[in-house]
Amino acid sequence: MTSRVGIAMVVLALVSLVVSSGGVSSVVLERPIEIDVADDPSEQLVVFDRASNGSLTVTNQATANLTVERATVDESRVGTWASNASVDQPDEPIEPGENASVDVAGDPCAGAETTRDVPIELEVATDSTTIETTVDVAVWCGEDGGATRSAG
């Protein structure tokens, strides 16, 4: 009888190794996150204002210094002409209540006589917050192919 019990235990052990034990090897948990965007510019941490000359004015309304970490042309949204365009961004942090300009530079027209929307990818940050956005700046390419920036 002892050998039957031993054999049964060995068979049970082998079967339990082959059959799943019902354990979980990974867990996926999805949590909804809601982000409220302030419609009133006076409540925003940062205001992006496209000036009439096409320069983008970045105004710091936070209580800490704001740094423009990245300002580049979003080449995934434009044609081959984007290689002629670049972005000038401020080198120094923007103090609370102050502003700075981000400008389209280079020659986004590439000799064309048309209007181009130059999408600028921006990443601005304080010590505790990072904001990433894309803002379009319209560039009018005049008869001589030269760029004249305008709000877009």
Look at residue 30 in the predicted model and tell me its pLDDT. Answer: 78
Judge if pTM exceeds 0.75.
Answer: no
Question: Domains (ranges, CATH) in the chain?
Answer: 42-150 (2.60.40.10)
Backbone phi and psi for residue 14, each to the nearest 5 degrees, phi listed first: -65, -40
Look at residue 19 in the predicted model and tell me its pLDDT. Answer: 61
Q: Which two tokens stand for residue 40?
A: 């009133």
Report yes or no: 108 and 88 within 8 Å, Cβ to Cβ: no
Look at residue 70 in the predicted model and tell me its pLDDT. Answer: 94
Tens-digit pLDDT string for the chain (152 aa): 667 777 877 777 776 666 655 555 666 777 776 676 777 777 788 888 876 556 789 999 999 999 999 998 888 877 666 667 788 899 999 999 999 999 887 777 766 666 677 888 999 999 988 999 998 887 766 654 445 544 44
